[in-house]
């Protein structure tokens, strides 16, 4: 789903560095092959912002791909089986900006972790990556299962990288609570005649 900054309420998420987000929207970081890491709890707008940055990139004429980490790893695993892996890597390398959404929700198999590492390695200084994650850095080893690989991956991602932290309350949850608490608007007469519901 396309999301833009017009519909993003920065006041609802004061932990987010608005100035940095607005600077990134200009797109120069892509020319410099810099990465962006959006880190924070669920529902804090990470995917919204990643999508807005991706959409801005498209409007600037850049080649952008938006993938979930799980979708990418599954695709790469299938391509390995079909001996098409190199073609897929070449295709990814031709992008200017690759957005990898939702790192950390699902732990990786050893092969999955190695495939993702390969993507990050090949992207390093060739194209920009935006990664969204709910994982604090100290927990990355648990998901990747290997300390050395995690260190090397984080090194590549964060070198020349921008980190946007989103650590407030979930916007999703806030909206749901607001909806549930909103009084139902009913005409006066029908309210009187309706039977009580438990």
Query: Which residue ranges make up the site for Mg ion (CB under 5 A)?
Result: 47
Q: Contacts with ligand ADP: how many residues (CB under 6 A)? A: 16
What is the distance between the alpha carbons of residues 162 and 39, in angstroms, rounded to a whole number? 11
Q: Per the structure block, which two tokens stand in for 17?
A: 């560095």
Long-range contacts of range 86-94, CB-CB < 8 Å, 24 or more positions apart? 89/118, 89/119, 89/122, 92/65, 92/119, 92/122, 92/123, 93/122, 93/123, 93/126, 93/127, 94/63
Residue 154's CB is within 10 A of a number of other CB atoms, namely 17
What character string, x for contact with ligand ADP (CB under 6 A) and - otherwise, covers 107-136? -------------------------x----
In the list 29, 117, 140, 171, the residue contacting ligand ADP (rule: CB under 6 A) is 171
- In this chain, which stretch among 8-16, 79-87, 154-162, 184-192 interacts with ligand ADP, using CB under 6 A? 8-16
Is residue 96 within the footprint of ligand ADP (CB under 6 A)? no
Q: Which of 113, 153, 151, 165 is nearest to 129 (CA)?
A: 153
Selection from ligand ADP, Mg ion, none that 9 binds (CB < 5 to 8 A by kind) is ligand ADP
**What DSSP character marks residue 107?**
P
Closest CB to ligand ADP: residue number: 45
Report the nearest approach of ligand ADP to the CB of residue 117 (Å).
Answer: 23
Is residue 46 within the footprint of ligand ADP (CB under 6 A)? yes
Q: Considering only residues 10-29, where is the footprint of ligand ADP by CB under 6 A?
A: 12-13
Is residue 150 within the footprint of ligand ADP (CB under 6 A)? no
Which residues, other chains included, contact 186 with Cβ-Cβ below 8 Å and sequence gap of 6+? 194
Measured N-to-C along each axis, helices 110-123 and 85-93 cross at an angle, to the nearest 10 degrees, of 40
In the list 27, 43, 54, 112, the residue contacting ligand ADP (rule: CB under 6 A) is 43
By beta-carbon proximity to ligand ADP, the closer residue of 118 and 165 is 165
Placement of tokens 């669920």 in the chain? 42
What residues make contact with ligand ADP under the rule CB under 6 A?
3, 7-9, 12-13, 42-48, 132, 171-172
């Amino acid at each position: 789903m396309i999301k833009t900054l017009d519909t993003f309420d920065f006041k609802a998420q004061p932990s987010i560095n608005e100035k940095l987000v607005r600077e990134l929207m200009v797109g120069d970081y892509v020319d410099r092959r810099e990465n962006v890491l959006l880190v924070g709890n669920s529902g804090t707008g990470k995917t919204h912002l990643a999508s807005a940055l991706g959409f801005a990139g498209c409007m600037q004429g850049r080649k952008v791909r938006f993938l979930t980490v799980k979708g990418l790893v599954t695709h790469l695993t299938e391509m390995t089986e079909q001996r098409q892996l190199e073609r897929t890597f070449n295709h990814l390398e031709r992008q200017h900006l690759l957005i990898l959404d939702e790192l950390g929700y699902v732990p990786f198999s050893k092969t999955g972790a190695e495939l993702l590492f390969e993507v990050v390695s090949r992207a390093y200084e060739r194209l920009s990556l935006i990664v969204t994650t709910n994982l604090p850095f100290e927990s990355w080893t648990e998901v990747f299962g290997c300390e050395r690989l995690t260190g090397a991956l984080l090194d590549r991602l964060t070198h020349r990288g921008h980190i946007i932290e989103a650590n407030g309350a979930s916007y999703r949850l806030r909206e749901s609570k607001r909806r549930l608490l909103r009084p139902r608007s009913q005409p006066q007469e029908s309210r009187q005649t309706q039977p009580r519901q438990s």
